[in-house]
A and B are shown apart, each in its own frame.
Chain A
């Protein structure tokens, strides 16, 4: 086919398509951006289909690209008048997006703050400024303890509910070869995965501490409670009765997927990939409590917001789309497809969801969850990774290593808030 004919055909299709839409109504096209994660894209496609069926005059185009490029592209596109009308961002990026004038507040008539305060999980209030919300999540995530049913059964132990039971169960599931090398861990560990959240918002609080003060601007973990929490954590891989090993099978989730780890702490977003693992029988339970019943969890979320690029009828369409993707219906779709938890208790805490054997532990965890306000999540995680490495590789005492980490994190926070 010659190029000329191709062009003619394309023109013809375009005109006939325009004619078709033209007869329906004045069509508005808005663009939605998110980063690529298989289940999230599938869920969003489903939501867009539903939304378009209800609003035939609006077309939503979704663009997604790898997480690594996401922030750079958003930052470059919106000021140039390109890019999304509705954009997805991590809750921790909100300050940066507001300061850079990338997003605009949601209108208070369509999103009344008082109603959102009442209907959403309280952590969402971090997105509020005065009477307006800047952004809203469809779903939230929390942590829970995954366990390998086959290994529990083999060791004759029950899924643990307290930290002591967890330690006992993990010891029972640990296996070694003749030379004493661990070949199966009772419990995975490593700050590179989700453990830094478990340590920060879970263990420290359970041991009586409070990790940060002053709206997460002041580090408050250089004290007895946190040292105890850290000693508990590093104790998992200490001595002859160690039941864990940092870097066992390269990555904690890999060890758990391969059936070489009895227990593993991870987020609800792991459910999808575990379901795909053939031959793995797993269950999930709430994060273990202390012996006096204290529980604590970590939650985080991605939000959607209307960008400053959306104006006029596109703005109206974007607001409508935002209303739909934060609706109860959308939250249920997101839960079923992605495994992330509804951002409203009214949806999440339904009888069916809260008692669901898989989602239940995560949803119950939301009730006692805290959301860390990160200045630089990967930077702050790195400090926890190094804190553990100084102890495991260089033999430093937990107290000393913790002090170094606390000082470094305070410096990071000070630098960040000084320039933002």
Chain B
């Protein structure tokens, strides 16, 4: 106790701060950092979950880079990202921009847009999966057939399946992005708009010179957030293709699903861990690049 008594007030404050921080720090170390470190270690080992772990050096990584499925999956993951992020951002900004100006039933409309975000992704994926089925049960194809238009293979196609799965995923995330955009729009001081009005500036100049530049922090946040979301897409894909996860012919398989399958259906933990490390590096890289590109000058 003498030690504590001799401390200055400032030092005592630090001791107390750390005392309170100890719990979350411990939590993070045990729940986050330890498994992360462990995953990196396992990626250099061979382990089937039941037997001994044996060191295998860089074998898992060599196998990964030589695996054509991995490259296909890598490409799919980036297609999800490069289609999903811009589309969802543009659509949600468009809706937020107009919703912000709407007074009629504002609350109800906002609630309707937010509703899909609150819905369970699993339930939503299954409903969409049934929408996409061929005749006689698929909603879309039944509609086409009733107009005598040939059926479209949505999920049972190597080219259409990925966009078909992405669509509900984008839709589900809109609600959240709209709310964030609206908060951003509300935070822009009205005086700028009043000044623009007095100067008689056209609406598009207001949009591109005032609104969007001042929304930059919001946009940065949403780009990073939604990119990470699309890079980690799993539940929509898995639930819409459970019979043949990531199929047909791996055309919809994202990296996370490949990791899941390698780990929990092939029980090749080392190989799965190597994939996880690659995903981690990709996420880190993409986030850092985006933060740098979109940072305030």
Contacts and interface: CB of A to CB of B under 8 A. Distances in A.
Contacts of A394: 158, 249
Interface string A380-417: 00100110011001100000000000000000000000
Nearest to A390: B249
Nearest to A99: B51
Contacts of B248: 389, 393
B265 A378 contact: yes
A190 B243 contact: yes
A307 interface: no
9 contacts: A71-B267, A75-B49, A97-B50, A249-B133, A376-B266, A378-B261, A379-B265, A419-B46, A420-B48
A280 interface: no
Contacts of B133: 247, 249-250
Contacts of A177: 135-136, 145
Contacts of A96: 48, 50-51, 267
Interface stretch (B148-156, B214-222, B273-281): B148-156
B150 A378 contact: no
A393 B156 contact: yes
Interface string B230-274: 000000000000011001111000000000010011110000000
Nearest to B56: A419
A179 B49 CA distance: 52
The size bracket of the interface on B is 20 to 34
Given A192-B244, A382-B244, A249 B137 contact: yes
A41 B227 CA distance: 44
Closest 3 CB pairs of A and B: A100-B50, A192-B243, A181-B135
Interface string A174-204: 0001110111100000101100000000000
Contacts of B134: 181, 245, 247-248
A385 B247 contact: yes
Contact of B130 (A178, A181, A183, A250): A250
Contacts of B157: 393
A71 B261 CA distance: 14
Contacts of A184: 136
Contacts of B150: 179
Given A247-B156, A376-B266, A181 B145 contact: yes
Interface of A: 68, 71-72, 75, 96-97, 99-100, 102, 177-179, 181-184, 190, 192-193, 245-251, 260, 376, 378-379, 382, 385-386, 389-390, 393-394, 419-420
Given A72-B49, A178-B148, A249-B136, 13 more contacts: A71-B267, A96-B267, A177-B135, A177-B136, A177-B145, A181-B134, A183-B135, A247-B155, A251-B243, A379-B266, A389-B244, A419-B46, A419-B48
Interface in B114-144: 129-130, 133-137
Contacts of A100: 50-51
A390 B265 CA distance: 23
Contacts of A183: 135-136
B247 to A, nearest CB: 7
B151 A181 contact: yes
A229 to B, nearest CB: 21
A393 B158 contact: yes
Nearest to B126: A250
Contacts of B156: 246-247, 393
Contacts of A193: 243
